[in-house]
Amino acid sequence: MQIDIPCNGLDRFRQALTDLGISGPDRMLLAISGGPDSLALLLLAHRACPGQVAAATVDHQLRRESAQEAEFVGGLCCNIDVPHSILRPAQPISGNIQSSARRARYALLDQAADDQTCTFIATAHHGDDQLETMLMRLARGSGVDGMAAIRAKNGRIVRPMLGFTKAELEEICAAAGVEPVRDPSNDNPEFDRVAMRQWIAQATHPFQFERTNRTASALADAADALSWMTAVLAAERTTQVDSAITCDANALPRELQRRLLLHCIAQLEPALHPKGEAVDRLLVELDAGKTAMIGNILCKGGTRWTLTPAPPRRDGGIK
């Protein structure tokens, strides 16, 4: 099957792979849902990296049509000689549907990449997604890490489509004569991202995805620098004896104090991921020399902080 791709788009895609440090021998697993974004990724990667890509479709089994859509992707991959697998969660998706589905999806893709001996997992996030994410994070009051938004590379996850718009990806599918599937949940304004997408489409605004990508990249660099500094300070200023951690965060900038506190919390209770407001309140208490709780951790303030597991309650529970 011959796939026609506009030359400019193919050149930009190849440059994006180079910028991500992906070379010829590196195999990529493509996360393909059947929508226009991921189908454009499949078409571009197939042309740019022949023989070096495999594809996987995650069927979350949340919609009646999902199995048929996964089979559709499998048929297209067969036509262009790209190995394809359909992945399904072992347990039904429950709780917060979007968050649970995302965790299940990346776990399945990670295992499939290992099975296919793929170095990288490529997703089809694009420039419009980046703008939506940054504005959503801004609306939520996110800090530096959150405002870094969608990273072009995060471990083995790569996103070579951030330099493309949604419209361009639709055009790539149309030029190839491929009709994408349409997920009705992408038009449901009950989801935060859909509501933001609809607002952007209706509003007159000055945002441009190229500038958004530059801002996100700069914030990602800043977040990496802060993480590096936190690791250095943790080695110098924290001490752990058994299950007690002491930390000297005195005179440090507020953001580094905050990150050191999060580091100590993670050492004692890795599953605890406190929200920003809770961490800010705890910092105020510690600065005032008070004792406070977060999760199952007892935190004592002063010039040096002490964090320990909370003592058992008299009834055997955890305070």
In the beta sheet, which residues pair with residue 31? 56
Q: What angle do CA 143, 149, 170 make, to 5 degrees?
A: 155
What pLDDT is stored for residue 2 in this prediction? 56
**Range 235-255 average pLDDT:** 96
* Range of weakest confidence among 61-70, 232-241, 290-299: 61-70
What pLDDT is stored for residue 9 in this prediction? 86
Q: Do domains 7-216 and 242-309 have the same CATH topology?
A: no
pLDDT at 319 over 70: no
In the beta sheet, which residues pair with residue 53? 28
pLDDT over 70 for what percent of the chain?
96
**Range 108-131 average pLDDT:** 96
pLDDT digits (tens, 9 = 90+) for 31-63: 999 999 999 999 999 999 999 999 999 999 888
- Token pair of 34, please? 């059947």
CATH entry 3.30.465 includes domain 242-309 = yes
**Range 56-76 average pLDDT:** 93
**Range 277-288 average pLDDT:** 95
CA distances in angstroms from 207 to 10, 148, 287, listed in the order given: 25, 16, 39
Per-residue pLDDT band for 189 (boundaries 50, 70, 90) equals: confident
pLDDT at 224 over 80: yes
* Range of weakest confidence among 98-102, 120-124, 297-301: 98-102
pTM, 2 dp: 0.86
Architecture of domain 7-216: 3-Layer(aba) Sandwich (3.40)
What pLDDT is stored for residue 318 in this prediction? 40
Per-residue pLDDT band for 311 (boundaries 50, 70, 90) equals: confident
CB 157 within 8 A of CB 29: no
CA distances in angstroms from 193 to 37, 50, 128, 129, 185, listed in the order given: 16, 34, 11, 9, 11
Higher pLDDT, 191 or 66: 66
pLDDT at 241 over 60: yes
**Range 263-289 average pLDDT:** 95
For the chain, what are the domain ranges? 7-216, 242-309
What pLDDT is stored for residue 316 in this prediction? 45
What pLDDT is stored for residue 238 in this prediction? 98
What pLDDT is stored for residue 24 in this prediction? 78
DSSP letter for each residue of 209-264: HHHHHHHHHHHHHHHHHHHHHHHHHHHHHEEEETTEEEE--TT--HHHHHHHHHHH
What pLDDT is stored for residue 110 in this prediction? 97
